[in-house]
Structure 1
Amino acid sequence: MPKEWFQNWFNSPFYHILYKQRDTEEAELFIDNLCTYLKPGEHTKMLDIACGKGRHSIYLNKKGYDVTGIDLSYNSIKYAKQFENDQLHFFVHDMRKLLYINYFDFSFNLFTSFGYFKTEKEHVSALKAFAKGLKKEGKLVLDYMNSQKIINNLVEKETKNIDGIDFHITRSVQNGKIVKTIDFYKDGKNYSYKEEVNDFKLDDFEKLFSLSGLKIEKLFGDYHLNEFDINSSDRLIFVCTKI
């Protein structure tokens, strides 16, 4: 059975080269703002879903929390494991499958690490797994792109030169998905990868959450936790409570 696009791309070293400019300060600011809002107590148990190489998990752990990071990418988890300690653990795990039941106080799914699957059933399965893993009245933070703003301002073609590689990127909207193709040449070989993310909007998430045992508590539009505006906000950030 052929692998899904995210299994190939996220496990590739070129994924981390293309996105290595992601702002660590911005990520830490977002975590700081979330913690100010959520007010987690001592020994709070947290799950970082689709944690990548663990930058959010590591920072949360430095703030004193018991953190578990999961990701489908073996290479990312292999890298993250070097940072493990008594209160920081990483596992290769598919978010559509349950990890623990009634265990975490908070779960985080950050930087548009959702919306990859082909069917509504798969997305609901993932959200149900998130919800079942939470303790009673536990909270999920899901950080998604504001797909409406992206579609309104779609950059159809661009080239980024990073570490001597010209990444040729094209974007389009196809069948309810924002599709990005990434083509480049390296060491005598041509490479081509794809990202396909559902252009979920607020009403789509309201439906998905209602099917999954989650209730929206608060909605934010950026990493400073300002109010969400469909036309101007960069992000669509949900704080959901387990029902």
Structure 2
Amino acid sequence: MAQQKGEWFETWFDTRYYHILYQNRDFSEAERFINNLLDDLDLSKSANCLDLACGKGRHSVFINKKGFKVTGVDLSQNSISEAKPFENDSLSFDTHDMREVYKENTFDVVFNLFTSFGYFDDYEDNAKVLNSVHKMLVADGLLVIDFMNADFVLDNLVKKEVKTLDNIDFRITKSYDGRHIFKDINFSDEGKEYHFQEKVQAIKKDEFEMLLKESGFEIEKIYGDFSLSPFSKEKSDRLIIIAKKK
């Protein structure tokens, strides 16, 4: 059986199977979310934006189409390769580890969207990410984090399911160890068995508040879904935080 090696996000995101499994993500919903977010932020048209952990760049492209300069960075070389064709004079993509500073005192807004946080084994790496973001932002710059509402997800965890896409049966098992939510993905293709595992820290609202404060941020707004409704610990499926660099 083929299994991932090294950090799970370094291998799984670079496989074609990752893109097959998640091919049905709702791009229209993502675009509505970006429109709602940009209306709420009311940014200057000269704002310089960073899409941190941008994947294949769908959010970067939407933000750029609204008239903003955007840089998208991601650790996955394959994802960045797929994003590169969308580049233009005001949109660029690069391979980068979010724990490291990309460019200091450069960006007016850093977006970290679609639960692209908490991937690491070491909880201290969360602070590394936020400290790096703090250094990359200009004075009074904004950080937008769109994360799962861990309380809601844990209360509604589907432990087993099968998703069939492109004639592949993805057998998915989810579990929780008190810190991480695991998604084990097993399937066979062309006579070969595969196993991959996603692992995300179940970071809750109060933990984010502490992490952000310790990293020099002040929370301005918290929302609970892509329509930017008020956050509810029990009912919201998202935890969307807008914080300012102090």
Q: TM-score, structure 1 length as denominator?
A: 0.98
Residue aligned with 2:79, SS: helix
Partners of 1:234 and 1:78 in 2: CA distance: 31
1:226: Cα distance to partner?
0.3
Q: 2:188 aligns with which of 176, 185, 188?
A: 185
Could you say which residue in structure 1 is the equivalent of 2:202? 199
Partners of 2:169 and 2:10 in 1: CA distance: 23
Give the paired residue count.
242
1:183: Cα distance to partner?
0.4
Could you say which residue in structure 1 is the equivalent of 2:134? 131
User: For each residue in 1:150-202, what CA deviation from the matched residue of structure 2 results, as whole angstroms up to 9, or x when unmatched?
Assistant: 11111100000011100000001113111110000001111100011111101
**1:146 to 2:149 alignment:** yes
Q: Specify the code of the residue in structure 2 equivalent to 1:216.
A: I
Q: 2:243 aligns with which of 232, 240, 243?
A: 240
Q: Specify the code of the residue in structure 2 equivalent to 1:195.
A: E
Could you say which residue in structure 1 is the equivalent of 2:98? 95
Partners of 1:25 and 1:39 in 2: CA distance: 21
Partners of 1:166 and 1:120 in 2: CA distance: 33
Structure 1: state its 5+ residue gaps.
Answer: none
Partners of 1:103 and 1:168 in 2: CA distance: 43
Could you say which residue in structure 1 is the equivalent of 2:81? 78
Q: Specify the code of the residue in structure 2 equivalent to 1:15.
A: Y
Partners of 1:42 and 1:5 in 2: CA distance: 37
Partners of 2:135 and 2:226 in 1: CA distance: 26
User: For each residue in 1:50-75, what CA deviation from the matched residue of structure 2 results, as whole angstroms up to 9, or x when unmatched?
Assistant: 10100000111111110000000000
Q: 1:21 aligns with which of 21, 24, 43?
A: 24
Partners of 2:34 and 2:177 in 1: CA distance: 33
Partners of 1:151 and 1:120 in 2: CA distance: 19
Structure 1 vs Structure 2: percent identity of aligned residues? 49
Residue aligned with 2:38, SS: helix
Partners of 1:72 and 1:239 in 2: CA distance: 23
* Aligned CA-pair RMSD: 0.8
Q: 1:112 aligns with which of 112, 115, 125?
A: 115
Could you say which residue in structure 1 is the equivalent of 2:179? 176
Q: Specify the code of the residue in structure 1 equivalent to 2:240.
A: I
Could you say which residue in structure 2 is the equivalent of 1:55? 58
Q: Specify the code of the residue in structure 1 equivalent to 2:148.
A: M
Partners of 2:119 and 2:55 in 1: CA distance: 15
1:120: Cα distance to partner?
2.4
Q: Specify the code of the residue in structure 2 equivalent to 1:242.
A: K
User: For each residue in 1:119-164, what CA deviation from the matched residue of structure 2 results, as whole angstroms up to 9, or x when unmatched?
Assistant: 2221100111111111100100000001111111111000000111
Q: Specify the code of the residue in structure 2 equivalent to 1:178.
A: I
Q: Specify the code of the residue in structure 2 equivalent to 1:87.
A: S
